[in-house]
Structure 1
């Protein structure tokens, strides 16, 4: 099976269609259209379908029938998270609600005055979580990410919606992102990092995950270990048509090695995958070969 290539999949035409329908006919119609679109992907997107079926059957050990049902739900909910993201960028937020498990932990991090490192994963909807957090916890959320999205889609989203409401710190070969992270933390800002995908050729750490050996990017855990800032694991899963469940773990404030932080992170990620298997949005062979 193929591995992640660092690029966001999707077409410019698809983004234009959904932005138009959200603006003109609302979220309900966009969700209805998703039923058709995601069923098409279920039928014809063979690689991600096979990857998910393998994950559900051979890792979570569900029946073939249950696995196929989970795959269909996965495609549909993933589509919903993209629609929700666009809706927030367009200011269509009045229908959304959320609950926040352990919100106080993030408030405590803010009050420490050292900034905070938020480690998350491609499970649920991290960007909508950030939109829900912004203003309640902190005015600035920085996202550390590979700036590898298709340029035409980025340009259209920026033109149509005003762009992301986050400060993106792009990972660069000259390591300038390390300075940007330091500056953000000095300003008592949060830095959010996806910690579940690595690119071929980059440094990784191999961990036990759901009973198998899996490779995780080493960089996020090195960053969490090197900077003198509290570290927490945050997730935001969709738990209703227009609602999300956010959660945070108790902050790590003591000095820890990257391997130790990775072990705690993987244990928490396992819990979330078992709780929300239909929101595991990794469409490739996740495990070490």
Structure 2
């Protein structure tokens, strides 16, 4: 299993995914030979262990649920346990897809026609999402139904041994990864993808210390959002939509897309629209908020 959290000093996100190579090996084995249901059963034990001993993400989530979403004490603790369990499920589901078990999953797609319209316009599309639900499984589902090529813009900061093992065991992700680099080569890669009428997906919810940001009202508090994704959305001549994929059943997902932005807008204007939609999704799926750091510091 793996998790994403902040560093020990300031509870801010540092861009790295932490995890155990042994954990990945165990779950890949169980999924392949004992089935997804058994892997889920094992998850209940593993995630309860995390709830007991991973005090930092547990306390950060408790604070978020109690002081931001105003969920009472016992209910908030139950929500944290459920959050850890569903997060574990999303990781297991990701591996299951890569192992060729996508036939076990079903999904509904709210406003799927918006993405089809984007594809038909021929300019590519920018999909802004968040660490809520299972974005990678969404990418695999989108690739099969909407477009042959989806690019994910992300920090390539996973532990190398885990990434190598996943690629060796499963063939890696079924979509392209555009790594964010200091030389800004990712901007050229995004441009080329859009020219080829491909979709480019970007997470827009995690601010890293030292990066440029915009501060906006989010769930009644001020929060910093990275301005980069919104600048990209504002600069390219491509439709922009906000997409989310939340787990809504044991083996099912609910995907959604918003009405595409097709007129020129400033980055800050796009950011405000995005945050408003993110608020709706967090309220709808609070147990699938997978940001394990102090979002409002």
Which shows bigger deviation, 88-97 or 240-249? 88-97
TM superposition score normalised by structure 2: 0.96
Name the counterpart of 1:83: 92
Question: 1 CA distance for matches of 2:18 and 2:109?
Answer: 30
Instruction: Select which of 233, 244, 269 maps to 2:253.
Output: 244
Q: Using the alignment, how far apart are the partners of 2:260 and 2:142 within structure 1? A: 17
Deviations 1:2-44 (A, max 9, x none): 1111011211000000000000100000000000000000000
Partner-residue secondary structure (3-state), 1:135: helix
**Structure 1 counterpart of 2:228:** 219
Once residues 164 and 129 of structure 1 are traced to their aligned partners in structure 2, the CA distance between those partners, rounded to angstroms, is 12
Q: Which runs of structure 1 show a deviation greater than 6 angstroms over 4 or more consecutive aligned residues?
A: none
Corresponding position of 1:150: 159
Residue in 2 aligned with 1:94? 103
2:102 counterpart SS class = coil
- Map 1:34-53 onto structure 2 (within 5 A): 34-53=43-62
* Farther off after superposition, 5-14 or 117-126: 5-14
3-state SS, counterpart of residue 134 of structure 1: helix
Alignment equivalent of 1:235, drawn from 235, 239, 244? 244
How far off is 1:250 after superposition? 0.2
Alignment match, 2:283: 274
Q: Give the one of 171, 184, 192 matched to 1:183.
A: 192
**Aligned residue for 2:12?**
3
In the alignment, structure 1 segments of 5+ residues that lack a partner are: none
Question: How big is the shift at 1:95?
Answer: 1.2
Match of 2:271 in 1: 262
Q: Which runs of 5+ in 2 are unaligned?
A: 1-9
Q: Which residue of 1 aligns with 2:137?
A: 128
CA distance in 1, matches of 2:108, 2:114: 14
Is structure 2 residue 89 aligned with structure 1 residue 60? no
Deviations 1:120-153 (A, max 9, x none): 0000000001111112110000000000000000
CA shift digits 1:155-190 (9 cap, x unpaired): 000000001111000001111000000000000000
Alignment TM-score, normalising by the size of structure 1: 0.99
Per-residue deviation, 1:199? 1.3
What does 1:157-168 align with in structure 2 at a 5 Å threshold?
157-168=166-177
Secondary structure of the residue aligned to 1:6 is strand
Q: Deviations over 1:70-98 (max 9, x none)?
A: 00000000000000000000001121000
SS at match of 1:94: helix
The answer for the alignment partner of 2:5 in structure 1 is none
Aligned residue for 1:117, secondary structure, equals: strand
How many residues are matched?
288
Root-mean-square deviation (Å): 0.6
